[in-house]
Structure 1
Amino acid sequence: MTSPSERTVERTVERTVERTVERTVSVVLAGGGTAGHVSPLLAIAGAIIEQRPGTRITAVGTEAGMETRLVPAAGFELRTIDRVPLPRRPSTDLVKLPVRLVRAVRQARTILSDAAADVVVGVGGYVSTPVYLAAWTRRVPVVIHEANARPGIANRVGARIAARVAVAFEGTGLADAVLVGMPMRRSIADLDRAAARAEARASLGLEPDRPTLIVTGGSSGAASLNRSLAAAVPELTAAGVQVLHITGRGKQVPGDDGAPLAAPGYHQVEFVDGMERVYAAADLLVARAGAATVSEISAVGLPAVLVPLPHGNGEQRLNAAGLVESGGAILVDDAAFTPRWIRENVLTLVTDPVRLDGMSAASYAQGVRDADRRMADLVLAAAGTGR
């Protein structure tokens, strides 16, 4: 007859053995091309590993996207397939679409087979459609995350076969979608701007106590924003405002002498590694209204002037709508973002701490800071594992 202590040991051993033999879950994530696709993909992958250690993660991208650098750097396996553009109007790409799509689906099927995928997660973009179709043919459940308020073609197609559809903004029109927010790095989601401000400004070469305006057009830059800001620099700096101008790779802003524009209190760089430093350092941010930007600034409570792209399908204006309505941001058309508008609106705002505090509170109230974990829950549930 065994004693109570011996039975306790036996139960402990049994539970340990059960955990040891518990099968490894395999998750394939599809998306790439831009940081707007790769960043949420990596955030979801990280949250899945956090909730289910040992999960096998395989990312699918193309050979030309940012994922070729960012995915391996994050420690995940990257497989590539052919890029398959989905044209919106008649073109040569439309004629070539069937052959390209069939080839890419076959490539994706091989990846799903090699990975023994339990679930596919897609964040949209050229890569996702072939992977969605490959998963459908192999009866692998699909979970979709749509970042924009107006969905792209890939996710509109994928939503028809998906087990779950998650969105960052309300009103996408995707059937049975659940609002989860935008998955983002924990260094941003958990950012305390006030606590990090001094160190962030020092790391960016900024003074600790001056009103601070940061302008960015994203990793590729925005020529129209760059031109207007450059023309407004003398008035901004004369008013005591320091400016960090993130011009975009290869888009230095020249001065009258042809050299990079320079002025006391004005700093230009092509790129900043770690946007959490930008968010902590800025009193006011001027930026495009990409889904990630809108979601991240609301998560950290950063007042912003948002300048939607003047082309595309209008999703950036829709992305910004809720934050603007709440009072956390100001929206201005690209054509209206002129040196005069900067002088009359940006300059008065960045030097008004009371108004900035109100915008910050309104912005923070709109933020979602656990979207990565919400997505991990959906993905693991779809894979049949839960937590």
Structure 2
Amino acid sequence: MSGINSALSVVVAGGGTAGHIEPALAVADAVKALAPDTTVTALGTARGLETTLVPARGYTLELIPPVPLPRKPTMDLVKLPLRIRASVRKTREVLDAVDADVIVGFGGYVALPAYLAARGGVLRRRRTIPIVIHEANASAGIANKIGARLATRVLAAVPGSGVKNRGASDADIVGIPVRASIANFDRAGLRAQAREYFGLPLDGPVLLVFGGSQGAKSLNDAVSGAARELADAGISVLHAHGPKNTLDATQFSEAAPYVAVPYLSRMDLAYAAADAAICRSGAMTVAEVSSVGLPAVYVPLPHGNGEQELNAKPVVAAGGAVIVSDADLTPTFVADTVVPLLTDSPRLQAMSAAAAGVGHRTAATEIARIVLDTARKSNTEARNNTAVRNTNRGNR
């Protein structure tokens, strides 16, 4: 019988991309910090980044069939009901096996089956499990919009995301949860160590460039194309170009090197080494960059529903960042706009303070408290119901 144990069981559903997985793991870490005896299980799919990220953080990963939601009428839409049914059935088996007291959903391919399985969904049997939803993006995805109608609590990073609590009240705004190493980050204190780690000079401005886990050609071309102007201004560059991309970085100055790497495994040190960043504006990226107080030039993805630009707007409005379109990010832009920024210390300091003011360093802990309160209530109700049933059987 699910939910009759005194120890709590939390299931996080946020597979597929790092933007779904990292918030889920940040909340998982915060749950364990607040209630160490809690069991945390992550749902994921065999093709998502969670297959490496989740085990690396020490959590059990249970795989379920993914349910991508087609946005256009295709054969995938015809197959959707069967896919949902199969995924919900497998998810329900996992929930039963771990005695789940609460589901915490962050959107993505695994979220919708989790929401339906928790509430009975297409299977319509067994007890319901409360759902807590967190929407990280400025514009909610389909899974979370559906899940919000079933959820006990609905949380969001920013107002106006399109998800609401039942009764049409707005979602509770808590920000985006970031891992503890970022939430408790001392960028200035790690600066010397970080610069030594990457082979960067201890003095002088450093520009950090990254385009997500796979890199971004437009960012690579624009910044490397302005390498001479950056070096002439005394600006060093730490550039993660992506594991499948190549970047021939010409060294124009020994005093201001251009350090190009395929991937940054120590993002904390990359943030500490830098004075400003050029990057995409996915929700998780904006959250982390803001939390550490790093001024940024955000370059939203040129496709999709425009959510990346929306993600960056609050930081831009506060004065902690600027936005440039992908098409307008050129070597000339870097030379004419980014170089003057990196050489203007008072402006960088003001932007850093503004960015940090937008960040929500305590979001993971706030969400974890809500999750644990919901789980405790669910667990208590389940145990009380079991006791009533046992008493009724004894009276027959």
Whether these two folds match at TM > 0.5 is yes
Equivalent residue runs for 1:122-133 within 5 Å? 122-133=105-116
> Which stretches in structure 2 are left out of the alignment for 5+ residues?
121-126, 166-170, 379-396
Residue 36 (structure 2) pairs with residue 53 (structure 1):
yes
Residue 231 of structure 1 corresponds to 225
Deviation, structure 1 residue 173: 2.5
The CA RMSD over aligned residues, in Å, is: 1.5
Superimposed CA distance per residue, residues 79-104 of structure 1 (whole angstroms, 9 cap, x where no aligned partner): 00111110111122212211111100
Residue 172 of structure 2 corresponds to 178
Superimposed CA distance per residue, residues 333-355 of structure 1 (whole angstroms, 9 cap, x where no aligned partner): 11011111111100110111111
Residue 215 of structure 1 corresponds to 209
Residue 3 of structure 1 corresponds to none
Equivalent residue runs for 1:245-264 within 5 Å? 245-254=239-248, 263-264=252-253
Q: Give TM-score scaled by structure 1 length.
A: 0.91
Distance 1:122 1:263 in 2: 48
Residue 194 (structure 2) pairs with residue 200 (structure 1):
yes
Whichever residue aligns with residue 115 of structure 2, its letter is Y
Deviation, structure 1 residue 53: 1.5
| Consecutive aligned runs of 4 or more in structure 1 exceeding 6 Å deviation | none
Residue 372 of structure 1 corresponds to 364
Residue 273 (structure 2) pairs with residue 284 (structure 1):
no
Residue 104 of structure 1 corresponds to 87
Distance 1:357 1:336 in 2: 26
Distance 2:289 2:264 in 1: 16
Residue 64 of structure 1 corresponds to 47
Residue 150 of structure 2 corresponds to 161
Of 296, 306, 326 in structure 2, the residue corresponding to residue 304 of structure 1 is: 296
Of 316, 323, 343 in structure 2, the residue corresponding to residue 351 of structure 1 is: 343
Distance 2:335 2:36 in 1: 52
Deviation, structure 1 residue 384: 2.5
Q: Give TM-score scaled by structure 2 length.
A: 0.89
Distance 2:208 2:327 in 1: 20
- The alignment-based identity, stated in percent, is 51
Distance 1:382 1:262 in 2: 56
Deviation, structure 1 residue 74: 1.1
Distance 1:295 1:69 in 2: 22
Whichever residue aligns with residue 71 of structure 2, its letter is R
Distance 1:131 1:108 in 2: 6
Superimposed CA distance per residue, residues 144-193 of structure 1 (whole angstroms, 9 cap, x where no aligned partner): 11110100111111111000011111221311311111111111111111
Residue 148 of structure 1 corresponds to 137
Q: SS at the partner of 1:383?
A: helix
Residues matched between the structures, number = 361
Deviation, structure 1 residue 321: 0.8
Deviation, structure 1 residue 262: 5.1
Distance 2:337 2:237 in 1: 15
Residue 27 (structure 2) pairs with residue 44 (structure 1):
yes
Whichever residue aligns with residue 118 of structure 1, its letter is D
Deviation, structure 1 residue 213: 0.5
Q: SS at the partner of 1:143?
A: strand
Distance 2:242 2:251 in 1: 17
Superimposed CA distance per residue, residues 15-50 of structure 1 (whole angstroms, 9 cap, x where no aligned partner): xxxxxx981101111111111111111111111111
Q: 2:91–2:113: 8 Å Cα contact kept in structure 1? A: yes
